[in-house]
Structure 1
Amino acid sequence: MVKSVSNITPFTLLDYPDKSACILWYAGCNMRCLYCYNPEIVFGKGKFTFSEMISFLETRRGLLDAVVFSGGECLIHKDIIEQIRLVKAMGFLVKVDTNGSKPDVLQSLIEQKLLDYVALDFKSTRESFLSITQTDLYDQFEQSVQLLFKTNIPFEIRTTYHSELLAKEEVKDMIDYLKFNEYTGTYYIQHFKNNVETIGKLPNSHTRLENHLPVNTAVKIVLR
């Protein structure tokens, strides 16, 4: 049996808005973001089979509202659509955390009505995407975000900000992109936490964004 799940968070009230949930952390990722806090998941192997996850979820029926599929990048796994379908059939709400690199999988999930909430990582502008993620997957990300703009599925967009990787002007450009596309959700910007293990060997991030964001923007911004 394939062991695709690296770890499980059995209970959280933070990862699905206003719902109780567990998180399935899928091993592996197709990006190598320098600021990634989860190198053990990105480079590690899975420890649990999906059958083991189903057995766990059977014990949580009626106790949890939702299951969060995260990673790594959960959508790179070949059986992910069927796995999400099984969890959905158990009566759980489903949230997916994704870097947007698999728009075809995302579209299938949307068309099959298997998603209740999505969190999409907006890594950077096109200009910085390669240097931050070590990939050329910006076009795929943009396909994914445009898919979400056209659906009625609740979703959030989030960015990790490191002052040495992403210029303040680029963050403003990203906000303008969301405004242009009439994004009505919340844009979460989390400041990089210094002195933690990451994929890249990074200097400390020195600038915070509190005084550098546009005022009275149509996009709701929450800094973390």
Structure 2
Amino acid sequence: MKTVTPVYSITPFTLLDYPDRTACILWFAGCNMRCSYCYNPDIVLGKGKLSINQTMDFLHSRKGILDGVVLSGGECTLHKHLIPVIKEIRSLGYVVKLDTNGCRPKVMKQILEEKLVDYVALDFKALPESFQSVTSSDLFAEFEETLMLLIKSTTCFELRTTVHADLIDEKDFRAMVCFLESKHYKGNYYVQHFVNQVPTLGNLGYSGKEFINKDFSTVHIQVVFR
């Protein structure tokens, strides 16, 4: 395990990616989705560059400086050594946040049952009828299973969606909120609008912020625009 190279790069310090924590980000290479708005095309399409040994050496060097570690990508749950890596990270005293598209519910089930992470950010890409066009994958059922595992767990998590006008309009988004209500989700639902004029995986045109000032919150779901 120590010589495999799943990590594309490391962001050594962030105050934005882990709520109320100082953290670093481990960017795991590869993904099984091809979202055209993805801001990490090099990571999604690239190969890992850093071994587990190199990654753990870095984390050893940051003990006492950082509170937590964010596991992101790409899609970190695709990597077969993820769970032992998390256990080793936790042994150093770090809290762990996991970013995921929800494609590996069996992996998530083990992580939740063993209480291996402290916080999860789950991407809600789209509803079933548009999931294929948004993600170039047929993985909505896996996402839904992961969502239900998180709703039933005691682990803190958030839901988030990236909005581009060509992919998700106001009607679509309201339907996504209704879907979450039907699953009895309660909590914050974070929305980020597509950032124009930055490198992405696809060739999307300009997207405005047409419904940023509208209220989509419900009794149980607080929609928050980032």
TM-score range, shorter chain: over 0.9
What's the counterpart of residue 34 of structure 2? Answer: 32
Alpha-carbon separation, structure 2, partners of 1:42 and 1:7: 12
TM-score with structure 1 length normalisation? 0.96
In structure 2, how many angstroms separate the alpha carbons of the residues matched to 1:89 and 1:166? 41
The structural deviation recorded for 1:210 is 2.0
1:67-102 residue CA offsets vs partner (Å, 9 max, x unmatched): 110000000001111111111111110110000000
State the match for 1:190 in structure 2: 192
* Distance in 2 of aligned mates of 1:189 and 1:174: 12
Distance in 2 (alpha carbons) for counterparts of 1:216 and 1:86: 40
Provide the residue aligned with 2:5 in structure 1: 3
Q: How many residues align?
A: 224
Distance 1:207 1:17 in 2: 25
2:103 is matched with: 101
Alignment of structure 1 residues 65-76 onto 2, 5 Å: 65-76=67-78
Per the TM alignment, residue 199 of structure 1 is displaced from its structure 2 partner at its CA by: 1.1
Pairwise mapping of residues 54-65 of structure 1 onto structure 2 (< 5 A)?
Answer: 54-65=56-67
Deviation at 1:132, TM superposition (A): 0.6
Secondary structure of residue in 1 paired with 2:6: strand
Aligned to 2:22: 20
- For residues 147-194 of structure 1, give each alpha carbon's deviation from its aligned partner in whole angstroms, at most 9, with x where no partner exists: 000001000000000000112111111111222333222111000011
After superposing on structure 2, the runs of 4+ consecutive aligned residues of structure 1 that deviate more than 6 Å are: none
Match of 1:175 in 2: 177
Q: Which moved more, 1:9-18 or 1:114-123?
A: 9-18
Q: Distance in 2 between matches of 1:216 and 1:173?
A: 12
Q: Which residue of 2 aligns with 1:150?
A: 152
Note the residue ranges of structure 1 that are not aligned, 5 or more in a row. none
Q: CA deviation at 1:113?
A: 1.3
Determine the C-alpha separation between the residues in 2 that align with 1:117 and 1:35. Answer: 24
Listed as ranges, the gaps of 5+ residues in structure 2 are none
Q: Distance in 1 between matches of 2:76 and 2:88?
A: 15
